Structure 1
Amino acid sequence: MFNLSKALVNNTALIWDVTKDPCSWKGVECTPGNSSITEISLSGVYLYSLDFLPLLCQIDSLVSLDLSNNHLTSIPDKFIIDCGGIGGLQLLNISRNMLGLGGTDLPTFHGFVGLKFLDLSFNSFSGNISLQFEGLVALKSLNLSSNNFSGLIPTNLGKAMALEELQLSKNSFEGGIPDQMIDYPNLTLVDLSVNRLSGPVPARIGDLSKLEVLILSTNSLSGKIPETLSSMKSLSRFAAHQNNFEGPIPSGLTRFIKNLDLSYNKLTGSIPSDMLSPPNLQTVDLSYNLLTGQIPSNISPSMVRLRLGSNSLNGTIPSATFGTLENLLFLELENNSLIGSVPPDLGSCRNLMLLNLAGNKLNGALPGQLGGLSQLQVLELQSNKLVGEIPFEITQLPKLSILNMSWNSLNGSIPSTISSLQGLTNLDLQGNNLSGSIPRTIANMDSLLELQLGGNQLSGVIPRMPVKLQIALNLSTNLLEGPIPKSLAQLIGLEVLDLSNNKLSGEIPNYLTQMTALTQLLLSNNQLSGLIPEFNPRLTFDAKGNKYLFNASTPNTSPRSAKKGKSVTAASVIGFAVGVVIGIAISYNFYKINFYVAVVKHYGITAAIRTCFW
């Protein structure tokens, strides 16, 4: 250990006091009584030199060695030879280094007869895997995720077939899921996500009777979801999103599963009537498929997250069911063809944090019971057919940060109590039939970053706005009048300002040129007048439809300048006439001067000089 300490002193942030017992050193664990060293952790100590590695293998009592989160670039052959001879070594973690960088190959692990856990994840290994792990007879967990491996899924992973956990995610493996993988009967976790796998899932997958977690997401797998998954009693999590699976969802798939994600596939047919009801079911994500039919009315009381958005589901939202879902945190039913009203029973989901019903055909008035969702942070109801006024109760949701009720047929005024939503960052009410003035209390919404009120019938003047607005302020297509207020100068971080299609008058304020964060300024179709200030050319600026606006390179056509133009024209005519008269007079007098000069020259009469200027 003292030789190891000397080797480490120049290339690590770790300092070991050689005057003390090594069992007291940081990262070192020993047996009871400190008779021998069993564990060494050098994780995250900025190791980059390889010289010390063989020294570690001189500790023949070593059970666990953690070299993760350093800057190691390769594994020396001597390390493999020497450490491979430590029969008691069970755990080797060299994850989060730079192994393989520069093209160094994955070594073949000779020996290591007692090694159970090997973690080489988050490195830069590449190429195919063949027999490098075949000699690891005791191997139970292999993690090769987040490398650059390619070729087929490896199947020679220990002659004893003792493997329990196989993590190969975030590589470039291709081809199909091999049948030979099913020959490892003790597998409890298989993660093959984010690769280039294709083809169907082997029907024999159901033979893995101990499998608890199966993750196949983000590949190009196709075919149907195997029905054999429905009989796997130990399977608690199945994730296969972002693939090309098609066909119907097998009946009974969630009989034992707690967490299911089949989103972003091509699944068709209806949701099986028993699919959402198993009592242990906690999360279901079937979004972005081609599913039709109605939402099953029986939903597990353990449900935490239910995502069914972006399908072709129809019918109404089952109402009575949601009154009992006290554990539900996320309900996402957006972009379907759901009809009917928003169920008042949703207000009983006391712990609901996100409710997304956008992009359906829901109608009727919003129920005030939604005000009971005291934990709600996101409420999205846009693009429906909702009518009536904005319920006062919604303005009392204490944790709401995003409220979107745009593109409906809501009417009435914006409640002044909207300012009670002090945590709100995004408010979108555009595309409704809201009328009246914009509440002055809106200036008190200190957290607001985006305000979308365009496409309504709002009137009056523009009030003071929240000073932290950043993403957008959209007041377009309303009936607003008066000048562009000076108070907008406080919105120094605003990126988009849209005041188009109103009845605003007066000049464009010069302070708008100093709002450097602006990327879009839309003032078209108002009644603005005067000189257009000079804006940054990178700004998208539109002021068309204001006939009395002009800039330095175009004629001034404002009402004042039009009157002034008429006066100038009249003066020009008068001036021309006077000029003609004066010209005639000058010509006549010039003739007279010439006449008298001639007389003077002939007669020498000086008095005649005075006579010519009478």
Structure 2
Amino acid sequence: MLVRQLSWILVIFIFIAVGESKMTGLRGGCNGNDLRGLTAFKSGIRHDTSGRLEKWVGRDCCKWEGVTCEKKDKNTVKRVSELRLPGLISGDDFIIVTSMEGTLSPSIISLSALEVLDLSNLVNISGMIPRSIGSSLPNLRQLLLNGNELTGFIPESISNLSKLEDLQLHENHLSGTLPSSLGNLQYLRRLFLHSNKFSGQIPPSLMKSKNLLTLDLHGNNLKGRIPENIGMLKDLRKLDFSDNSLSGTLPSSLKNLTSLFEMYLEFNVLEGELITLPPSLGFLRLDGNRLTGRIPPFFQNLVSLQKVSLANNKFRGSLPSTLGSLSQLYFLNISNNLIEGPLPNEISSLQNLQTLDLSFNPLNLSPIPEWIGELPALCSIFLAGCGIKGELPEFLQSVQSPIFELDLSSNNLTGALPNWLGDLTSLSLLNLSRNFLASNLPNSLAQLKDLGVLDLHSNRLTGPIDHIFTMQKSSLKYVDLSHNKLTGGLPDSFRKMGTLQSLDLSYNRLGSDFPASLGLVSALERLNMQKNKFTGEIPNTVLKLGNLKELNLSDNLLVGEIPKGKPLSRFPKSSYSGNRGLCGIPLAPCRPGV
């Protein structure tokens, strides 16, 4: 009798325990498979700078940070539907950059109800995409694994993710060919595979994903032609195949992409003539290919164009006057082609044009058309190697918009550097190198407080240079005054040049002691003082130039022992040769008494 009573008590206890377990699940417990999958993922991470994983304690994973659970029906335990652990954590007024170091656990596919997997930009997550991800996570809508260290291939099973809308695997080390079955993802809207090591051809079957809005494959090793059926992607808004090795002509079906706003095909080996383009384009880059023929007049139909770069091709003939009808255009780069002058006056109607780059074309601009100075928004002028003759045009001092960048290098400019250059107080870049300018450096150059790049090399400039380095709060980063006839010495004011990274004074007639203050320019990476008349010893302060990567002090009148230590000991003999009084490593040892 007692045994029978104990048996009934045990049965009742079991029912109560099971019931409590079920009620716990209904109150928000964690599915066992989900718990094991998340625990395995955590165990694969050695370091987490965000501190999120260290809060993953207890058995109720639905309460863990970055984990979202949903109850699929009223009779089951909640399942993990979203795992969001991005490396970039943003709020209303902040962005925090975090990282995780470790390996992506294959057990992540245990989260079989998962709809969103976001492990993006964690930087140091290695491993491979699980091979059975497509069959194990049938509900996945977003797969974001970009910005990590993943290797291997895209598994064929990924084509089974029939609900997938967003696939981002960019900025990893993935390789192999692109699976042709990617075209089976009919709901796919965003595909980012750029900055990996994919090879082979772009599969034409990919164009069956007719809902694609963004297709980005740039920065891989893809070859072959752009699929002719690309015109099937009627909803596509952004196309980026740049930085690959794609060849052949542009497919004629591009004209069918009536929603395309951004098209980037630069730095491939595309050839042939520019026959057609999508009518909706706003941003177009075709630079760095082998395109030929004339720039067609149909640009007048591309009324939404804002930015165009056709640089580094083989376009010939003159610019079409229809470019002047692009009322929204703010950036035009047709440099390094075979375009001939004259420039069509219609370009003067581009009221929004900010950047004009026609460099290295046989335009024979003599003189530069004055209407260039009348463009109300123009602030960056690049006309290097355009056959310009005569003096610097005076209309530049009275342009409607402040000039930020002015490059007239590699022309046939003559005369003096005008004093009014100092009135262009917004200049950040001034490049007048490789001309025939002959004068002193005007004192007014010291007024250019925002100047970052000053390149006047290979002219016939004379006189002192000390005033160039006396600017208060200088922003100079790059200075090249080489191959001139400059004289005088260097000032002791280099301590003000805290941003200077490159200084080239070679092949001049400069002569003075090596300024000790040059060693205080901590950002300096390149210093060339070759072929001058600098005297005295190399000061010990130069040893403080820890960022110095290039040094040439050859063919001067320097004496004494080269200061011992890095960075000076890293440079070869050629950096110091031609100074008869110099000795010490890497030159011959100094004689006693030297």
* TM band (smaller chain): 0.7 to 0.9
1:331 is displaced (CA, Å) by: 2.7
Name the count of aligned residue pairs: 513
1:396 aligns with 2:423: yes
Distance 1:125 1:534 in 2: 48
For residues 584-599 of structure 1, the aligned pairs below 5 Å read: none
Residue by residue, what CA displacement relative to the aligned partner does 1:573-603 show, whole Å, maximum 9, x if unpaired? xxxxxxxxxxxxxxxxxxxxxxxxxxxxxxx
1:484 is displaced (CA, Å) by: 0.9
1:306 aligns with 2:332: yes
Over the matched positions of the two proteins, sequence identity in percent amounts to 29
Partner of 1:270: 294
Q: SS in structure 1 opposite 2:482?
A: coil
Q: SS in structure 1 opposite 2:373?
A: helix
TM-score (norm 1): 0.71
Q: Name stretches of at least 5 consecutive residues in structure 2 with no aligned partner.
A: 1-27, 88-99
Partner of 1:193: 218
Aligned residue among 162, 168, 171 for 2:196: 171
Distance 1:180 1:495 in 2: 49
1:443 is displaced (CA, Å) by: 1.8
1:370 aligns with 2:389: no
1:432 is displaced (CA, Å) by: 1.7
Partner of 2:313: 289
TM-score (norm 2): 0.73
Structure 1 counterpart of 2:305, which letter?
Answer: L
1:433 is displaced (CA, Å) by: 2.6
1:375 is displaced (CA, Å) by: 4.7
CA contact (8 A) 1:280 1:302 kept: yes
1:377 is displaced (CA, Å) by: 3.3
1:233 is displaced (CA, Å) by: 1.2
1:361 aligns with 2:387: yes
Distance 1:450 1:457 in 2: 20
For residues 468-547 of structure 1, the aligned pairs below 5 Å read: 468-469=496-497, 470-478=500-508, 484-485=512-513, 489-490=517-518, 492-493=520-521, 504=533, 508-512=535-539, 514-516=541-543, 517=545, 520-522=551-553, 524=555, 533-534=561-562, 538=570, 540-541=574-575, 544=578
CA contact (8 A) 2:256 2:278 kept: no
Partner of 2:104: 73
Distance 2:284 2:555 in 1: 50
1:76 is displaced (CA, Å) by: 1.4
CA contact (8 A) 1:74 1:98 kept: no
Residue by residue, what CA displacement relative to the aligned partner does 1:135-161 show, whole Å, maximum 9, x if unpaired? 333222222323444443223348672
Cα 1:439/1:279, change in 2 over 3 Å:
farther
CA contact (8 A) 2:452 2:477 kept: yes
CA contact (8 A) 1:116 1:141 kept: yes
Distance 1:389 1:100 in 2: 59
Aligned residue among 233, 241, 249 for 1:224: 249
Distance 2:144 2:129 in 1: 17
1:205 aligns with 2:224: no
Structure 1 counterpart of 2:78, which letter?
Answer: I
Structure 2 counterpart of 1:207, which letter?
Answer: M
Aligned residue among 251, 260, 271 for 1:246: 271
Aligned residue among 78, 87, 111 for 1:59: 78
Partner of 1:572: none
For residues 117-156 of structure 1, the aligned pairs below 5 Å read: 117-129=142-154, 131-156=156-181
Structure 2 counterpart of 1:105, which letter?
Answer: P
CA contact (8 A) 2:316 2:337 kept: yes
Partner of 1:428: 455
Cα 1:364/1:192, change in 2 over 3 Å:
same
Partner of 2:495: 467
Distance 2:489 2:177 in 1: 67
For residues 75-90 of structure 1, the aligned pairs below 5 Å read: 75-76=106-107, 79-81=110-112, 83=113, 89=115
CA contact (8 A) 2:269 2:289 kept: yes
Structure 1 counterpart of 2:297, which letter?
Answer: S
- Aligned-residue CA RMSD (Å): 4.2
Partner of 1:279: 303
1:479 is displaced (CA, Å) by: 5.3
CA contact (8 A) 1:319 1:346 kept: no
Structure 2 counterpart of 1:315, which letter?
Answer: G
1:245 is displaced (CA, Å) by: 0.8
1:274 is displaced (CA, Å) by: 3.1
Partner of 1:606: none
Q: Looking at CA atoms only, which structure, 1 or 2, has the larger radius of gyration? A: 1
Q: Name stretches of at least 5 consecutive residues in structure 1 with no aligned partner.
A: 31-35, 39-56, 557-614
Q: SS in structure 2 opposite 1:169?
A: coil
